[in-house]
Amino acid sequence: MNPLATTFFLLNAAALFLLPRRWAPVPLLAGAAYMTNAQGLEFGILNFSVLRLLVLCGGLRILLRRERPAGVLNALDWLMLAWGTWAVISCSFHEASVLVTRLGTVYDILGIYFLIRCFCTSASDVMGVARILALLLIPVALEMVNEQITGRNFFALFGGVAESPEVREGRLRAQGPFSHAILAGTVGAITAPILVGLWRGHPRIALAGLVGCGLMVFTSASSGPIMSLLAAAFALIVWRYRHLTGRLRAAAVVGYLLLDLVMKAPAYFLIARIDLAGGSTGWHRAALIQAAIEHLGDWWFAGTDHTRHWMPTGVGWNENHTDITNYYLEMGVSGGLPLMLLYMAALWKCFQYVGQAVRSHTDDSFFFWCLGASLFASAVTGVSVPFFGQSFVFLYLVIAAINSSHAANQAISKTVVISDDSESQDILSIGSRPNSQSIEEKSVPCCCPNQAAMQKVG
């Protein structure tokens, strides 16, 4: 690490140990927003980026303070653990070199997920982190604007990103500290709906954050982030018609099937026609889905180490693979259908939790819905963009935040039910003693003469 990165890490590591529990996610988010993956420490074949080192510090804090997630381990927690377990087990069906990379991926994802689960123990904690996230992304957005103006990336000081941004169709594609311009814009797009959820209580912070997110999407000059932002906007609009979500899901399935019947190509080839920023590679993304279906036998069980024959083009960083620009298929190539389906099940469980929160009509229902809108945007994004580099933090932050808020609400509900049951038992126990009321009445001194006389006559 260079001196600047070392100072950044030490300050954030100290903050991780010293900050109150609810603010402990801030150093992790700062590490994802302000540091490239090129800075870190290497121990033989093991590479610990600054973000991974911060995750390690967060784990040590939890052990020392004995902090635990809100509630008990629930279905989503077990799904995430099952996902991580199969991700490692499936390595036995791959080349030996895959194991180290896979362990790093599992460490990153489960580390961020469970740290957020431990640090955020209520919906109010999640809202506090969202306010900080809004402020953290503003400097990133301003730097990306600076890239557009000057053609120089400030984060190149840390390595891992090019000093001059990529140019496509005559437009500069700013990327900030992220591994690709698409990822930079995607982070802004999937964060925007979370900030909408802050509007009622913190309109100024929400507005500032939304402007920053919009700048990140615009300066990335990529179609993917624009589609993600449109998906988020659609999900937010549906809030008004949330009582019709079941029908909307059914209509979406029926609509896709009808399109598949009337189109000459499969319906997913509509992706090939989307080009909102110029120079889009939508055809590649659609053809990749078709190739994965045609070669299902190669990867369905535990993934595959060879996809180069799927597509006419490959990638420069691996001669055995084509460019897997699909997060779901990336899961499939890594660990087969089991890994892909476990990830999809985790998303589905999150949407169930959001639905339960909205139906409960709590004060946090709209914020829950905004978290769901962010997750919906991420789910749509996954069809065309794999989350790599530090961008995965902002996806699994939302998944963990939804689960933490859900677990906290469930714990409160159980407390209320237990309290109500205790009161009912007290009432029933009093009613089961027929002489108790008369005994209490006789033991109370009477201060009314008439009442005393009546008791004497009786």
Three-state SS at 69: coil
Residue-level pLDDT at 36: 92
Three-state SS annotation for 11-62: HHHHHHHHCCHHHCHHHHHHHHHHCCCCCEEEECCEEEEHHHHHHHHHHHHH
Residue-level pLDDT at 290: 95
Position 363 confidence tier, pLDDT thresholds 50, 70, 90: confident
- Look up residue 453 and give its two tokens: 């006389």
- Phi first, then psi, for residue 168 (nearest 5°) are -135, 130
Residue-level pLDDT at 168: 83
pLDDT in tens, 246-261: 899 999 999 999 999 9
| Rounded CA separation 139/211 (Å) | 11
Position 415 confidence tier, pLDDT thresholds 50, 70, 90: low
- Look up residue 15 and give its two tokens: 């903050």
Q: Could you tell me if 312 and 306 are in contact, meaning their C-beta atoms sit under 8 angstroms apart?
A: no
> Is the pLDDT score of 436 beyond 70?
no
Nearest CA to 131 among 260, 287, 53, 22?
A: 22
Give the predicted TM-score (pTM) of the model: 0.89
Position 271 confidence tier, pLDDT thresholds 50, 70, 90: confident
pLDDT in tens, 67-103: 998 778 899 999 999 999 999 999 999 999 899 999 9
pLDDT in tens, 162-177: 899 888 878 899 999 9
pLDDT in tens, 47-67: 899 999 999 999 999 999 999
Tell the burial category of 403 from Cβ atoms under 10 Å away from its Cβ (0-12, 13-18, 19+). Answer: buried
Q: Dihedral (C-alpha) 92, 97, 102, 105: value to the nearest 10 degrees? A: 180
Position 278 confidence tier, pLDDT thresholds 50, 70, 90: low
Q: Could you tell me if 274 and 223 are in contact, meaning their C-beta atoms sit under 8 angstroms apart?
A: yes
Residue-level pLDDT at 99: 94
| Rounded CA separation 47/389 (Å) | 13
Q: Could you tell me if 375 and 398 are in contact, meaning their C-beta atoms sit under 8 angstroms apart?
A: yes
Q: Across all residues in the chain, what is the average pLDDT?
A: 88
| Rounded CA separation 394/213 (Å) | 13
Taking every pair of Cα atoms in the chain, the longest distance, rounded to a whole number of angstroms, is 107
